[in-house]
Structure 1
């Protein structure tokens, strides 16, 4: 068995409609799927329309909204992305220059937290 990719990350959210608005309108993610499967709504968004997606799902029993942390999102223009987030009312820390590149942090309305990062310096990855 070989594991060779991450298909989907799940972010638990309290209100899927509110989350959809934030991820689609504020972050500019494409909605890959929005359908009811059994008793659950499968709401899947993806930056740039391809790659690893985020499922915005109601919390499973015993879980709560807002527990996702450490996901790093890439941007070719961190400053413009930060300005857009702030204009939409999001709290953003940064952007800051760090040894591995320019980055900022923010959270969605439920408290799921993300790092927004410019492409890392080429020598950092060696």
Structure 2
């Protein structure tokens, strides 16, 4: 049973949508009104996978409360440079046994990890 949608709480859906599309490079799957005061904005990484819904309606999930969501990339150095050029504040690339990664936050403070994951078979042979 794969994860289909991860809710990310934001204050301003339009501002967050711009960040997730223009900075992170996600693709808009849906952007539809949900009544007079809400929008359903659903995004997905270009190479598929679980989707992200930008939400404003969960009282128990204030904007900025999601931390540690991870996006996998093939080349962390190239992605780090691309994110920085797109205006994101990214941490220096760090290395751990599970992979190399950088961290950043969306405009509301939700924390993301962008990682080049190490193949588990390679780790076993070290």
The TM-score normalised by the length of structure 2 is: 0.87
Shift of 1:61: 3.1
CA distance in 1, matches of 2:80, 2:93: 7
Shift of 1:48: 1.3
The 5-angstrom pairing of residues 1-126 of structure 1 reads: 4-39=1-36, 40-48=38-46, 50-123=48-121, 124=123
CA-to-partner distance for each residue in 1:8-47, whole Å, 9 max, x for gaps? 0000111111111111111111001000123421001100
Shift of 1:81: 1.5
Q: Could you list the runs of 5+ residues in structure 2 that have no partner in the other structure?
A: none
CA-to-partner distance for each residue in 1:66-104, whole Å, 9 max, x for gaps? 111111110111112111222233221121121111111
CA distance in 2, matches of 1:125, 1:116: 23
- Cα-Cα RMSD: 1.9
Is the CA contact 2:16–2:54 (under 8 Å) kept in the aligned structure 1? yes
Deviates more, 1:73-82 or 1:60-69: 60-69
CA distance in 1, matches of 2:79, 2:63: 24
CA distance in 2, matches of 1:119, 1:63: 28
The TM-score normalised by the length of structure 1 is: 0.87
Q: Could you list the runs of 5+ residues in structure 1 that have no partner in the other structure?
A: none
Count, aligned residues:
123
CA distance in 2, matches of 1:48, 1:93: 23
